[in-house]
Amino acid sequence: MYQTKTGIDQKNRKQINNLLQKRLADSIDLSAQIKNAHWNVKGPSFIALHELFDKVWEQSLEYSDLIAERIAQFGGEVDGTIQTAAKDTNLDKYPLNSRDGYHHVEALAHTLATYGELVRKAIDQCNDLKDAGTTDIFTEITRSVDKNLWFVEAHLQAAK
């Protein structure tokens, strides 16, 4: 790690950097999964879901950027490559056999919920490491993920 004058000691910065790098891998995978749904959705709700997935994807790109910039702020080297994300993601593989809108909505709801849970755990870990700034970034991300999950899940709830 590079030297920095942040008020967080080197040991905690390394732990926070590792945590951020894990969530960056998840964020990159999340964006790719959302875009996969956007490209492949079919059925009577095509246009509504296609547009929804695109909006959710646009917002998901912000998560990677917030996390990567925080890594750099703490003197870490950002590894946002697809190869690393594929190797390190904690998200389940996106079901490529999903075709109709319902199955894509179901798959994305699962992915968003899993990602949200991982970020909530990161909030707790950052609190333990006394890093309010990174906690705030992860809190901002969870608010967005929760809102997007609500928009996606509404399509499942209407089907019941």
Q: How many residues does the chain have?
A: 160
pLDDT of residue 99: 76
pLDDT of residue 27: 98
Domain architecture of the chain: domains with CATH: 10-157 (1.20.1260.10)
Q: Is 94 helix (H, G, I), strand (E, B) or coil?
A: coil
pLDDT of residue 6: 72
Write the CB contacts of 143 (distance below 8 Å, at least 6 apart in sequence).
none
pLDDT of residue 158: 64
User: Measuring CA to CA, which residue among 3, 27, 4, 133 is closest to residue 79?
Assistant: 27
Query: Could you report the per-residue pLDDT of 39-49, keeping only the tens digit for each?
Result: 999 988 999 99
CB 40 within 8 A of CB 104: yes
Stretches in the chain below the pLDDT threshold 50: none
What one-character DSSP code corresponds to residue 74? T
Query: Could you report the per-residue pLDDT of 150-159, keeping only the tens digit for each?
Result: 999 999 886 5
pLDDT of residue 48: 95
Q: How far apart are CA 28 and CA 89, in angstroms?
A: 8
pLDDT of residue 1: 63
